[in-house]
Amino acid sequence: MTKNLFNNENAIYMGSKRNPKNCSIGIFGVNYDGTCSFKPGARFGPEAIRQVSSCLETYCPKLNKDLEDIMYVDFGSILIDKNDSKSVIESVKSATNYLISRRLSPIMLGGEHSITRGAIEALVKKYPDLILVQLDAHADLRESYIGNEHSHACTMKRCLEVLPEKKILQVGIRSGTKEEFEIMHNNNQLVNFCPGGNVHELKQALLPYSKSPIYLTIDLDWFDPSLLAGTGTPEPGGFFWNDFEEILKTLKGFRIVASDIVELSPEIDKSGVSSIVAAKVLRSLILSLENMQ
């Protein structure tokens, strides 16, 4: 079945297996940026993350954990029809279902943010009480954008439509329409979090969901452009590595069942720093997810 879903002939994330036997976490990429509305290039994100990962250490002193102690598989990137955004989402759904059937916790590498809907659709069948935690610069709550309801600017709206609990916590959003901010405020889904700030509000927002399965979606434009310039829609006033570590620390003890990292456009940042940050985000997720399942 993997032969029909994935292309694994290219780079592999450091320390990953190709065979899922005895693994607890599964990685796959989605090389897609078909609804990009500013700078394209997110389709190169998964490969860039894999290629630069060899420059990182497997050990994280902050978490006091080592990738060498964890079994995780990198399936490569899924085979998609890049001209049909709806079919891409269906392909993501099929790939996520495959990982779930193998009892693997999925980590998806984008690609653009529209792909999250497919993973959510698959996961709610196993976890009907699934909630979504979003790190992002943008609200992504539009009904449609440039005539496409499957645009990356609509992805949280589409996810809410399939989440049975209709619950999303949007952390640190700093850009969107007036209507989007009204929706977030009216539904108590916007979690205020400032660069260098404390995580008290996030802790409070998470308390009712101490036993709920959580999907963590990370749009890399959540980070400040001065740290991560390689993204299609950069937004000033963002966050830094210590902020991300505080978020992960806060999520410790909650049940993260799957995650994604999206919107890396590596060609925009010729220094390669953005790709390295993204690869380090993935390392932190693997090390964290291993104890959150």
Q: Please say whether the beta carbons of 233 and 190 come within 8 A.
A: no
Give the per-residue pLDDT at 119. 98
The owner of tokens 């392909």 is 91
DSSP conformational letter for 291:
T
Q: Is 140 annotated as a binding residue?
A: yes
What are the Cα distances from residue 266, in Å, to 171, 220, 228, 229? 24, 11, 10, 9
Domain of 232: which CATH number?
3.40.800.10
| Residue among 238, 230, 233, 225 at smallest CA distance from 193 | 238
| 18 burial level (CB within 10 Å; 0-12, 13-18, 19+) | exposed
Give the per-residue pLDDT at 151. 78
129 C-beta neighbours (distance < 10 Å), count: 13
Give the per-residue pLDDT at 173. 96
* Dist. CA 88–CA 96, nearest whole Å: 12
Range of the structural domain that residue 203 is part of = 2-289
* 224, two tokens: 């400040």
Give the per-residue pLDDT at 143. 85
Give the per-residue pLDDT at 293. 55
* Dist. CA 219–CA 216, nearest whole Å: 10
Q: What's the sign of the alpha-carbon dihedral 20, 105, 3, 50?
A: negative
Q: Three-class SS of residue 235?
A: coil
Q: What is the DSSP string of 173-196?
A: --B--HHHHHHHHHTT-EE---TT
255 C-beta neighbours (distance < 10 Å), count: 16
Q: Please say whether the beta carbons of 158 and 141 come within 8 A.
A: no
Give the per-residue pLDDT at 190. 96
Long-range own/partner contacts, residues 203-206 (CB < 8 A, 24 or more apart): 203/250, 205/169, 206/133, 206/169, 206/250, 206/251, 206/254
Q: What residues contact 105, with CB distance under 8 A and at least 6 apart? A: 24, 25, 26, 99, 256, 257, 258, 289, 293
Q: Is 221 annotated as a binding residue?
A: yes
Instruction: Give percent above pLDDT 90 in the chain.
Output: 81
Give the per-residue pLDDT at 38. 65
Q: What residues contact 181, with CB distance under 8 A and at least 6 apart? A: 139, 190
Give the per-residue pLDDT at 84. 83
Give the per-residue pLDDT at 157. 95
* Dist. CA 36–CA 188, nearest whole Å: 29
Give the per-residue pLDDT at 234. 94
| Residue among 100, 76, 71, 109 at smallest CA distance from 5 | 76
Report the chain (293 residues): mean pLDDT per 10 consecutive residues.
76 96 97 78 96 96 94 96 87 97 97 95 97 97 76 88 95 95 96 87 93 97 97 95 95 94 97 98 93 60
Which phi and psi angles does 97 have, rounded to 5°?
-60, -40
For the chain, the domain total comes to: 1
Q: Is 138 annotated as a binding residue?
A: yes
